[in-house]
Amino acid sequence: MTARWHLLMWPPLLLSLALLVGSQSIFLRGSFFADLRVGRLGSELTLQNYWRVASDGFYLSALWLTVRLSALVVVFTFVLGYPTAYILARMRSVWAPLLLALLVATSFVTIVIKVLGLVILFSPGGLLNVSLLWLGLTDQPVSLRGTEFGVVVGLMYFTIGFFVLLLYGVVRTIPRSLEQAAQLLGAPRWRVFWRVVVPLSLPGIITSALVVFNLCMGAFTSAALIGAGRILTLPVLIQRTVMLDARYAMGATLAAVLLLCGLAINLISILAVGRLKAARRVVA
Amino acid sequence: MMARALSGTWLALVFGFMIAPLVVVAGASFGRGGRTAMIDFPPHELTWQWYLAIPGDQVQALALSISLALACALAAALLGVPAALGIVRGDLPGRRAIAALFRLPLQIPAVVVGVSFLQLYYIVGDVIELPLVGSFWGLALAHLFIALPYVVGSVVAILNRFNMRLEEAALVLGAGRWSTFRRVTLPVIMPGVFAGAVYAFMVSFSDLPVALFLAGQGFVTFPVAIFQSLDYDFSPSMLALSTLIIVFSFVVMVVVQRSIGLTNLLHTGGAG
Amino acid sequence: MMRRLTIAMAALGVLAAGAAQAQEPRFDGVTLRVATFGGGWDKAVHEFIGVELEKRGGKVEYVLAPPREALAQLIAARGRAMPFDVVEMSDNTWVDTFEGKFLQKIDLSKIPNKKDLETFQYDDWKVASWNTQEGMIYDTAKFKAAGIPAPQHYRDMADPRLAGKVLMIDVSQAGSVHFLVGAARDAGGSDANLQPGLDLLSSIKARSYWKLGAEALTLLETGEAWIATMHAGFAIQGKKKGMPVAFAHPVVGTNRGILKEGWLGIVRDSKVKPAAEFFINAYIDSEAQEKLALKRGVVPVNKVARAALDKDPVLKDTLLLSDADVRNTMRVDWQKLDLDYSEKWGRAVAK
């Protein structure tokens, strides 16, 4: 019976692969030809575009920035989102589903509009900055626009809702009785949380963290609007190369580099998690 | 008691962070906006005028976006659930790599998705007569491409927590395969399907770059309409419409949660 | 005698009818597809221009693709049937659209309204559709309080007192090139040598770079920015809403003010060229230009329409309207322009 489960996977996998390979092979193929602008390609195969990217600190630092910001979003999303999901899942109150719905509803407003709200929130004479200045936490009005922190925050406005909604479901599959048993045995609450709940929800955490990471690697709108032309992530540069310069070969090269780098990070983290689990099993 | 106060404070902080920009948007949507140029917050004088001034074509764009997102979420759920079941239960070697493959579309920058699907549709159009360029279904297919990873990811996450003993028990007790799936498996993975489908909806609903390429004659999605208007033709009616979207999506979320019994069924979920 | 007169009258009548027909072409059953901006621009274009074609039996369909997206659609359709007949181009896309061989020649004799245009506003491949006047919007109250004189050159934004208060245009906006070229020429560079402009870009302590007009005006209003590189239409919007702003037309060598130009072109292989030419001619008609300008904050390319804007004191105060002033503005020479500008911009900002 188990043997046949995999049959279910093939239709969606084949469709997904057809769309992925179909669209990307047409576009990424361009990365192996000289760029003649206006979407035109040279006729001879060449690796010169890749060489240009690999030997240029400008593109490499954009790649590094993209990876770093995506990782930061994952970390912050986890730190803010996981306890939230846990608290909501364990809440014995009619408020829990309402709060969950509210959190998700915030994601429905496009970042294009949220940016306007953020501009007002962080205006120099606004409540937030006035109180920060008064508390002496800063000596200059804080702004999110044009800062790496701002881009991370902008991305989190999308990722937290997803993360919390999913982990809420995961935590609720962990029977409360397990925690109660551990507590009865005298373990303090935070220890139960850390040693029982977190490990049991780890597969869910890892899967959703990877979804969040991949999503950030390709994110454009938030980086462009809140990054405000200063935070040049690879998707922003790809957008410029393709749209402003109509240099498709170069854009394709950057997209291929981003894709490969993301895939590599995914596979490495899967391997690392596998190792970690194996090690645990040995310890146990 | 202390734990309770602590969790209360924590929730207040996180929700404050998430909601703050939207409070500004909602507040300014009631502002007259006369004295100030763009956004009147806190509003100096309350008014409904912007709610009455929401332009018809933005409502039309909104309706189009909603049907597009619904089609996308439905298709993503129908494809994503079997995919996740196959990945987790199929036990094929390299299934983690297959899961990573399903996630790949997420990190393709939207502009690349837009350009490459446009090219793909033209090439497909050379071979067979399929009106994909500039059509609703062409855009829906591209949205499905970027939305499917959410459903696969979230159902995999839930399935990983769920062992098959319940199902086996059901089968042993004589339930058919389909009824086992419907009565035992589906309720358990429902939170994952729900989370995935909601975000599949969201991806389609909030997409700007892909729709810029694939939208065609006379049909415009909501984010495109908003984005293009924000460039020159700003009006607080956009804030009003966004506020309505928050309220409406909140209500829909609550209703859906109730109707699929998300909160009740979870208690029984996969006691493993 | 009588009879002869009747014949003559009849002949005249036929002639007159023929002449009327020559002036009033019909486009029954013709559909013209126009790639244009969204966000209400398309509605305005239809209201003032598209209806003229409809009155004559034709139909206009609008593909809402701003110039960059329109170019991407043309590129994807290369070698196949093109997705539209008339394309709206910003000046920074027309070179690509032209070089990509996506345009066909316009029969200028079919565009009689060109009489109201300056000679640099049309050629065989394109006809100007609208202008904006690029420059600097600044907060007069903040400038006065800080004792900073009104800006004249782009380089005035490098004033140390303005550090962190400058809101620069983002390179993804068409007007970024006009800033670069203006700053470069003013400092001895040229359209091909943008280095002095890029140097200025890195030395101005910009707060950030704006992408959405509404957002930029909000930043000016909250005081986060004191000065922004934007076009004059935004200054008019701000002034009319009571913001304490003024607009400075940058001085570039002997020129004053910078023109950003929108263009119309006919897409190669278009089967409805006469309708396309009729549409373009209607677009630059003085009445249509005036209405479009008042509704959308652009500057007419038609001199009659431009002169008519004089009646509005805010417009008169903010825009360069006289023919002499418009001729003295700086215009980018796109065929000489260093086309790697966006990458160089990125590097200058990253510094």
Smallest Cβ distance to B232: which of C61, C62, C213?
C213
Minimum-distance CB partner of B242 among A109, A173, A263: A109
Contact of A96 with chain C, judged by CB distance below 8 Å, is answered with no
How many residues are there in chain B?
272
Q: Give the Cα separation of B229 and A136 in Å (integer).
A: 39
Q: Is the pLDDT of residue C184 over 50?
A: yes
| Strand-strand pairing, C245-248 and C127-139 | antiparallel
**Residue A273: pLDDT over 60:** yes
> Tokens 């047409």, residue?
A26
pLDDT at B268: 42
* C271 and C289, same domain (yes or no): yes
Cβ atoms A31, A252 nearer than 8 A: yes
Tokens 């209806």 belong to residue = C51
Share of chain B above pLDDT 70, in %: 87
In chain C, the percentage of residues whose pLDDT exceeds 70 is: 93
pLDDT over 70 at C10, yes or no: no
Closest by CA to A220, choosing from C347, B121, B117, B223, is B223
More confident residue, A110 or C74: C74
User: Chain-wide mean pLDDT for chain B?
Assistant: 81
> What would the pLDDT profile of B53-68 be if each residue is shown by its tens digit?
787 778 888 899 999 9
Q: Which residues of B touch A85 (CB under 8 A)?
A: none
Interchain pair A220, B22: CB under 8 A = no
Kindly state whether residue C91 falls inside one of the protein's structural domains.
yes
Q: What is the mean pLDDT of chain C?
A: 89
Of B141, B149, B205, the CB nearest to A211: B149
Same domain, C41 and C138: no
Is residue B41 pLDDT above 80, yes or no? Answer: no
A26 min Cα distance to partner chain C (Å): 11
Position C17 in a domain: no
Share of chain A above pLDDT 90, in %: 22
> How far are the Cα atoms of B191, B267, C93, C306 from residue B264, in angstroms, in the given order?
11, 6, 57, 68
DSSP string, C5-33: HHHHHHHHHHHHHHHHHHHS---TT-EEE
pLDDT the model gives residue A76: 96
In which band, very low, low, confident or very high, does the pLDDT at B267 lie, cut at 50, 70 and 90?
A: very low
C162 with C224, same domain?
yes
Per-residue pLDDT of C215-238, as tens digits, reads 888 888 888 899 999 999 899 988
Q: Does C68 share its domain with C79? A: yes
Query: How many other CB atoms sit within 10 Å of the CB of residue B176?
Result: 11
Query: What confidence score (pLDDT) does residue A38 get?
Result: 84
Question: Do both C304 and C268 map to the same domain?
Answer: yes
Shortest distance, CA A64 to any CA of chain C (angstroms): 14
| Mean predicted confidence (pLDDT) in A98-119 | 84
CB-nearest partner of C77 from B34, B36, B122: B122
Per-residue pLDDT for B42 more than 90?
no
> Within 10 A of B53 (CB to CB), how many other CB atoms are there?
12
Chain B residues with CB under 8 Å of A161 CB are 18, 199
Q: Residue B271's pLDDT band (boundaries 50, 70, 90)?
A: very low
Mean pLDDT of C2-24: 58
A246 touches chain C (CB under 8 A): yes
Q: Name the H helices within C162-231.
A: 175-186, 195-203, 213-222
DSSP state, residue B134: T
The confidence band for C89, taking pLDDT boundaries of 50, 70 and 90, is: very high
**B85 and A5: CB-CB below 8 Å?**
yes
Let me know if residue C183 belongs to a domain.
yes
- For residue C208, the cross-strand partners are C167
The CATH number assigned to the domain holding B196 equals 1.10.3720.10
Segment A69-75 shows an average pLDDT of 95
Q: What is the pLDDT of residue B265?
A: 46
Residue B266's pLDDT band, with cuts at 50, 70 and 90, is: very low
- Å from A99 to nearest chain C CA? 30
Tell me which residue of A209, A193, A198, A213 sits closest to A280, measured CA to CA: A198
3-state secondary structure of C231: strand
Q: Higher model confidence: residue A162 or residue A138?
A: A162
| Structure confidence at residue A227 (pLDDT) | 86
Instruction: Looking at mean pLDDT, say which of A183-192, B228-237, C144-153, C239-248 comes out highest.
Output: C144-153
**B126 contacts on C by Cβ (under 8 Å):** 80
- C141, pLDDT greater than 50: yes
Q: Nearest by CB to A26, which of B24, B101, B119?
A: B119
Residue B105 is assigned to a structural domain of this protein: yes
Tell me the chain A residues in contact with residue B90 when contact means C-beta distances shorter than 8 Å.
2, 5-9
- Of A213, A5, A281, nearest to B159 (Cα)? A5
Question: What number is the average pLDDT over the span A67-78?
Answer: 95
Using the predicted structure, report yes or no on whether residue C285 has a pLDDT greater than 90. yes
**What local confidence, expressed as pLDDT, does residue B154 receive?**
86
**Confidence at residue C125, expressed as pLDDT on a 0 to 100 scale:** 94
Q: Please tell me the predicted confidence (pLDDT) of residue C22.
A: 54
Q: Which residue has the higher pLDDT, C189 or C11?
A: C189
pLDDT tens-place string over residues A169-206: 888 878 888 888 877 888 787 788 888 888 888 888 88
- The answer to whether residue C11 sits within a structural domain is no
Q: Where are the alpha helices (DSSP H) in chain B?
A: 2-28, 49-52, 56-90, 95-103, 110-127, 136-159, 165-172, 177-180, 186-206, 209-214, 222-232, 237-259, 262-265
Domain spanning A57-92+147-283: which CATH class is it, in words? mainly alpha
Bigger pLDDT: C197 vs B153 = C197
Please tell me which of B184-193, C16-25, C96-105 the model is most confident about, judged by mean pLDDT.
C96-105
pLDDT-wise least confident of A88-97, B40-49, C34-43: B40-49
Q: Is A244 on the interface with C (CB under 8 A)?
A: yes
Indicate the number of domains in chain C.
Answer: 2
Does A116 contact C168 at a Cβ distance shorter than 8 Å?
Answer: no
Q: Note the pLDDT tens digit of each residue in C192-201.
A: 999 999 999 9
Query: Cβ–Cβ of C38/B234 closer than 8 Å?
Result: no
Domain region containing B93: 63-235+262-268
CATH number at residue C151: 3.40.190.10
Nearest Cα to Cα of residue B85 among A11, A269, A201, A171: A11
Dist CA B103 CA B114 (whole Å): 18
| Residue C14: inside a domain | no
Q: What percent of chain A has pLDDT over 70?
A: 97
pLDDT at A138: 78
Subunits next to B (3 or more Cβ pairs <8 Å) are: A, C
Q: Over 60: is that where the pLDDT of A283 sits? A: no
Give the nearest partner residue to C40 out of B36, B122, B233, using CB atoms: B233
What pLDDT sits at residue B104?
A: 85
Give me the mean pLDDT over the C249-256 stretch. 94
B187 versus C94: the higher-pLDDT residue is C94
DSSP-derived letter for residue C150 is: P
For position C153, what pLDDT does the model report?
95
d(CA B159, CA B146): 22
Instruction: Give the residue from chain C lying closest to B214, CA to CA.
Output: C73
Judgement on whether residues C148 and C236 belong to the same structural domain of the protein: yes
Q: Are residues C239 and C157 in the same domain?
A: yes
B221, B231, B235: best to mutate for the C interface, most C CBs within 10 A: B231
DSSP state of C128: E
CA closest to C349 among chain A residues: A230
Q: What percent of chain C has pLDDT over 90?
A: 63
Any domain includes B177: yes
Helices (H), B91-183: 95-103, 110-127, 136-159, 165-172, 177-180
Contact C299, C261 (CB under 8 A): no
Find the range with the poorest average confidence among A260-264, B188-192, B262-266, C75-79: B262-266
Number of domains forming the structure of chain B: 1
Q: What is the pLDDT of residue A3?
A: 54
How far is it, in rounded angstroms, from Cα A230 to Cα C335? 28
Indicate whether C126 and C38 sit together in one domain: yes
Find the length of chain A: 284
Q: Cβ of C212 and A141 within 8 Å?
A: no
- Residue A36: exposure state from Cβ atoms within 10 A (0-12, 13-18, ≥19): middle
Segment B74-119, tens digit of pLDDT: 999 999 998 888 888 877 777 778 888 888 888 888 888 988 998 8
Judge contact between C191 and C338, C-beta under 8 A: yes
- Indicate whether C15 belongs to any domain: no
Mean pLDDT, residues C250-270: 94
ipTM: 0.83
Answer yes or no: do C75 and A246 touch at CB < 8 A. yes
Q: Is the pLDDT of residue C11 over 70?
A: no
Q: Residue C6 falls within a domain, yes or no? A: no
Q: State whether B217 and C33 contact (CB < 8 Å).
A: yes
Cα distance from C110 to chain A (closest Cα, Å)?
Answer: 30
Task: Tell me the pLDDT band of A129, cut-offs 50, 70 and 90.
Answer: confident
Q: Does B244 touch chain A (CB under 8 A)?
A: no
CB contact under 8 A, A220 and B205: no
Q: Looking at the structure, do residues C73 and C105 belong to the same domain, yes or no?
A: yes
C193 and C340 together in one domain:
yes
Most confident residue range from A10-14, A124-128, B167-171, B236-240? A10-14
Domain range enclosing C149? 133-257+331-350
Spatial neighbors of C128 by CB under 8 A, at least 6 apart, are: C117, C121, C122, C261, C262, C263, C264, C284, C301
| pLDDT category of residue C250 using cuts at 50, 70 and 90 | very high
C227 in the Ramachandran plot: left (φ > 0), alpha (ψ -120 to 50) or beta? beta
Q: What value does the mean pLDDT take over residues B186-197?
A: 84
Q: What is the pLDDT of residue B173?
A: 75
